[in-house]
Structure 1
Amino acid sequence: MRSLRGPSRPLLAAASLTTALALALTACGGETPDPDPKPAAEGQGSAEAQEGGKESGDRARAAKDLADRLKKHGIDAERWKDGAWKDWDKDDWLREAKDFVNPVIQGLWKPERMRGAEDPGKTVTTKDTTADQGQTDPAPRAVPAEREQTPYHDHAAPVGKVFFDAPAGSMVCSATVVKDPRNPGKSNLVWTAGHCVHAGAEGGWYRNIAFVPSYNDLGKDAAGLAAAAPHESAPYGTWWADWAATSNEWIGQGAGSGGAGAPYDYAVLHVKPESGAKSLEETVGNALEVDFRAPGTERIGTLGAWGYPAGPPYDGLLMHRCADRPGRLSLAPGQPTMYRIGCTMTGGSSGGGWFRQEGKKSLLVSNTSIGPADNTWLAGPQLGRQAERLFDMMSQKYGGS
């Protein structure tokens, strides 16, 4: 295994599911990315930043809180930003749930650094396991991943890329903007995989975690993106995680091959913009509701998985999608079963959302977690009461920040 990073009716085609999702994602409009953004004049902040002292006061308090947390762990904030974060001494690697720190390093995720953070060999393993026990359905047929239509902000705006640093280098995953029930219309919450933020049993929290919705909005190839303006890489800007939460099972049992933590391989980020003051949901224009009912595969219908696969034959620059009826995958007796669909997406698609249609709504029901060495299927956790408690904690404690 590898960690990536009613009455019956005919299966929906991938294109049909995409159309329904696109309608749901763009229903609220949102801000169309500026095709030619003008830099602020010297000494002039954004209009949002000038609306009053509340935002600046909140930021000052948040900065002090972060500095205090760093100091508690013997970390000097300025030295960290100057490169001390590259020290991955295992004895000092913060790993407990309460120890997450992620100081913003302005301009770290430049477009060229984003393009280089796409080596899935460093984020996934092709190790196979024989731990497939319990109640498991036959492996699905491989469903070829299809490219998402461009511009992405018109078809799947809440989907984006997560960038982070690990001991082996700069890495990538995928993620989704999700609704915050305590802050309707102003969510700053992002759903991804646990292994995209924390190394599991043998490590700790990754560093410099940032989210870019609709990354490479126009779907340019490597040469085109290298010559593109920065806003084409990050049309809605770069959003830094100021807090992250994943399951205790992932922290305690997660591994490069998924391990016993795979059925609990999910995470929630609270993010803030590298610049600006509007919320993520306001900026992107929409977010998806998370469905924590964990419906059985016999009731769930077709699932669509979205992400940015980076392992061959993909290069991590383009958004792709798969659609399939899910089956069950059991890794060990006594553990929750996982959803499994046919899909050829590779490493880099980890953390990408799995969506189902309920009426006119698209609901997030899982995220990409693991897959086999031959890249024929993906599996993701069922999101039940335990995942809901984690999400509710993030909403209650950090959502209004």
Structure 2
Amino acid sequence: MADQYAQTREDNRPAGTPAIRWEEPPEGPVVVLLDQTRLPAEEVELVCTDAPALVEAIRSLAVRGAPLLGIAGAYGVALAAARGFDVDDAATALAGARPTAVNLSVGVRRAQSAYQSALAKTGDARLAASAALAAARQLHQEDARASARMAEHGLALLDELLPGGGHRILTHCNTGSLVSGGEGTAFAVALAAHRAGRLRRLWVDETRPLLQGARLTAYEAARNDLAYTLLTDNAAGSLFAAGEVDAVLVGADRIAADGSVANKVGSYPLAVLARYHHVPFIVVAPVTTLDPATPDGAAIEVEQRPGYEVTEFISPQAPLTGAGGGLPIAPLGTQAYNPAFDVTPPELVTAIVTEEGAVSPVTAEGLAELCGRSRPATSG
């Protein structure tokens, strides 16, 4: 049975609470998450004592973001192993918790493989559990390093495409430290531009229906003293028309072999707007998000979320009166279309930036070459 509980941090330090960490209190190991559904109102940590609790945290978006989901999946396998649960069952449940995000299954498989290999070699379940935890920790560290390299490559690309600095960047959803072992993906590039004195403005899409931009990206931008402005998603077009956007930076949850990019729903319209207005549309993601086994965009499974996320306003401050725990904003019985992601075709993507460098133009051949260089270093 899923076992999780919340604990509120008393210090609420400006440096921020880690998005995920492994702890070993006397009562047994746990995975501790910063509950992102409670931000920005309060920093509350969710303590998961078993894999089902972590699966529920993933599905409810308490923990989210492609790279962080990979880390969470790996820690979930290690948690099952350390507490003596069925590791293969836990791995299956974790990997299927959010089907579009390929990093989740990559992280799960990495820790599961380490566990199985050690168990086959030693026959000792405790040593196998230690191996799974070591694999999860290594993935966590690798993601932090990858984040730093993506920021460097992304800033170099921005400076090449937009000489002179003063970048005005539009971003969608949340791609900062809340989705990463480091400072993020697309947001990390904007942060690097800010630190270099070359960020004029970060335009933050609200990102409906769950407001990850308004709640999370604005939260991270404010904590890092970025010059930022929040806008509703449907205001982006007027911003482009006014000539106020120099580049679009987004993350990704899965990148197919042909360069099609699945990202938070609303990304595809931005790519279309960017192409019409001759603005670079740049995707920033670690190589673990590249999926050679998915041939093209049509083969990407797009997660469908519950309709109440659209028909209710979900917020920590909202009265809990709706079926989904939010404030109803549509008539009772209203049907809703609520895909979590959309798919942007490669011809609309200016560049894909990874820790191994940028691919531009985005082609199957360029991505295959990148995967060939990077996979041996990132698989486990």
Same fold (TM over 0.5): no
TM-score using structure 2 length? 0.24
Higher RCO structure, 1 or 2 (CA under 8 Å, sep 6+): 1
| Structure with higher helix content | 2
From the two aligned structures, give the one with the greater strand fraction.
1
